[in-house]
Structure 1
Amino acid sequence: MSAPTQTPAPPTHRSHVWEHLPTVPEALASLMRTVVVALFLLTFVLQPFLIPSESMEHTLLVGDFLLVNKQIFAPSGGAHSIAHLVMPYRDVRRGDIVVFHHPDPPYLVKRVVGVPGDHIRIDAGRVTVNGTQLSEPYVAFEPVAPNQFGENFPTSIYTDPNVDPAWWRELQALTRNGELVVPAGEYFMLGDNRNHSKDSRFWGFVPRSEIIARPLVIYFSLRRPSTTDVQQATDDRLGHDRELTARLAAFARWKRIFRVVH
């Protein structure tokens, strides 16, 4: 007997899987969602700032780019209540670094040293609050000409022309037994670089309503050398790759990127 004839299997057809490419309306809708989220974050939660001066050294350096949380000190209600789900609200605390409105320049960043009700005194640059000397490991005392007003505060002698006259009169009225009493709704600010900071010692308190943000992280830090460090090329010879690497390394403070601010 002959072997049974095998019926050939029907040809298999490979199924084609077609990837769905977004249509123009879908792509525009996705783009708009991204833009809306970005605008929401920049409007209610996050905002970038650049440090222009040395008043907060060495916590913050000239050329540091900060990402700040605008939501943490914002009152609840409206769109802010939605943003609170991302970053919860809390009140200002002593020791916080904050961004606040100021007449000139329009924004400043300093550290909160006195909150409402505090009794403040500065002796030889050391801050005492409510009878206890603060532990301030972040403070720098860079060399400067002697300034009795900034190093011993408050004082009854007008010794510094940089002090705002209106603040001077208010200061005398709020001084009790050699200590400055912080009124309700007001905050006393100092720069970490105490000898090179124009702060509450010179222009007074910051109202609670003017405090708008708290720095979160340094997202970039640009190294800004002085003009005396700039060297001119002496000829047209090409440099080596190590020279390019050195220049790239000197362009920014790479180790400060993504450093948390506290």
Structure 2
Amino acid sequence: MSTAASEPEETTVKQADQTETPLESLASICTVLAIGLFVMTFIFQNYKIPSGSMEKTLLIGDHVLVDRTSFAPPTKWAPFVHYRDIHRGDVIVFYKPNPETPDLFLVKRAIGIPGDRIHLVNGIVYLNGVAQNEPQAGKPVEDGNPQHAFDAYRDDFPSVPPPPYEIQPLGITASWALDLPNHIQNGDLVVPPGMVFAMGDNRTESEDGRYWGFVPRQNIVGRPLFVYWSFETSADQMSKTSLGDRLSFIGHILVHFFDETRWRRTFHIIR
């Protein structure tokens, strides 16, 4: 009888022992946060597309998950991670190679890798002498929009040298205007060692390698994997940097979250 009577008491004691103390709960939360911070810092990163330079592959307002490991240098502490170098056609995320904006992230497509010879004819890329079939790339057209019309420097690159920096309106950096002739051989732009030549898919509206040069390999931080959320966003939203504008846009998102979210782009794979 005494043994049977003591069983409920033992059960109660065991249940009490399994209850977490506030310190243990705090430790568990801190562990989860630390793991999440590590993952978002060293493995994945979220990125918002601010411009239309990659349309229609990526739209303004797309939020993408960026893989930061595949293009990183191999390390001994993570032998299970698949590392590889940049391939032609990869969509890449990188720091813009411009000393005036050293912390600005850009997303473009890798067109050429070291040793490649590149030139454009009427907006069509010729890689090592072969015209490329790029259905995703925008070409110059006569649709009444002057930005889409043929531009000799942009669309027959690099056959036309950039005009003098003090008179050109194209956004070409001064350093690239000086350096560009050093990389032209027989009408082709030759990609030097340790560099990648990148362009936006929306070729007529993309300020890319044609305007500021090559992307150093060490500037490339990863590749976007998929769109996890996409929200209708105006093209000028990036220029609205005041606190009032930002709060207004946040309020707009809260009000129009359901009707202006592009639900069909959720989990859209980026290629």
TM-score, length basis structure 1? 0.79
Amino acid at match of 2:126: T
The RMSD of aligned alpha carbons is 2.6
Amino acid at match of 1:155: S
Amino acid at match of 1:63: G
Counterpart secondary structure, 2:226: strand
Aligned equivalent of 2:161: 157
What's the % identity of the aligned pairs? 38
Return the match for 2:32 from 28, 31, 34: 34
Cα deviations by residue, 1:49-89 (Å, 9 ceiling, x for unpaired)? 11110000000000001110111111123xxx44563x421
Distance 1:158 1:211 in 2: 26
Max Rg structure:
1
Question: Structure 1 pair 226/29, CA: closer, same or farther in 2 (3 Å)?
Answer: closer
Counterpart secondary structure, 2:86: coil
Aligned-pair CA distance for 1:217 = 1.3
Distance 2:107 2:162 in 1: 26
Distance 1:253 1:128 in 2: 35
Counterpart secondary structure, 1:192: coil
Does the Cα contact within 8 Å between 1:114 and 1:189 map onto a contact in 2?
Answer: yes
Does the Cα contact within 8 Å between 2:52 and 2:235 map onto a contact in 1?
Answer: no
Residue-pair matches, total = 231
Aligned-pair CA distance for 1:257 = 1.0
Aligned equivalent of 1:208: 217
Does the Cα contact within 8 Å between 1:68 and 1:216 map onto a contact in 2?
Answer: yes
Aligned equivalent of 2:261: 252
Return the match for 1:186 from 181, 189, 195: 195
Does the Cα contact within 8 Å between 1:119 and 1:182 map onto a contact in 2?
Answer: yes
> In the alignment, is residue 166 of structure 1 matched against residue 170 of structure 2?
no
> In the alignment, is residue 176 of structure 1 matched against residue 181 of structure 2?
no
> In the alignment, is residue 23 of structure 1 matched against residue 41 of structure 2?
no
Does the Cα contact within 8 Å between 1:100 and 1:109 map onto a contact in 2?
Answer: yes
Aligned-pair CA distance for 1:174 = 1.4
Aligned equivalent of 2:270: 261
Amino acid at match of 1:38: G
Q: Which moved more, 1:28-37 or 1:51-60?
A: 28-37
Amino acid at match of 2:113: V
> In the alignment, is residue 93 of structure 1 matched against residue 91 of structure 2?
no
Distance 1:226 1:73 in 2: 30
Cα deviations by residue, 1:92-145 (Å, 9 ceiling, x for unpaired)? 111011111113361111000010000001001000111111121221237524
Unaligned runs of 5+ residues in structure 1 are 1-11, 228-246
Aligned-pair CA distance for 1:153 = 1.0
Unaligned runs of 5+ residues in structure 2 are 237-255
Question: Structure 1 pair 249/151, CA: closer, same or farther in 2 (3 Å)?
Answer: same
Distance 1:106 1:225 in 2: 20
Distance 2:265 2:160 in 1: 42
Aligned-pair CA distance for 1:28 = 2.2
TM superposition outliers: structure 1 runs of 4+ over 4 Å: 15-19
Does the Cα contact within 8 Å between 2:51 and 2:235 map onto a contact in 1?
Answer: no
Aligned-pair CA distance for 1:225 = 5.2
Aligned equivalent of 2:105: 107
Does the Cα contact within 8 Å between 1:96 and 1:111 map onto a contact in 2?
Answer: yes
Cα deviations by residue, 1:177-224 (Å, 9 ceiling, x for unpaired)? 111111001110100000000000111001101111110111110112
Question: Structure 1 pair 59/128, CA: closer, same or farther in 2 (3 Å)?
Answer: same
Distance 2:47 2:79 in 1: 21
Aligned-pair CA distance for 1:22 = 2.2
Distance 1:225 1:173 in 2: 39
Q: Which has the higher helix share?
A: 2
Does the Cα contact within 8 Å between 1:71 and 1:83 map onto a contact in 2?
Answer: no
TM-score, length basis structure 2? 0.77
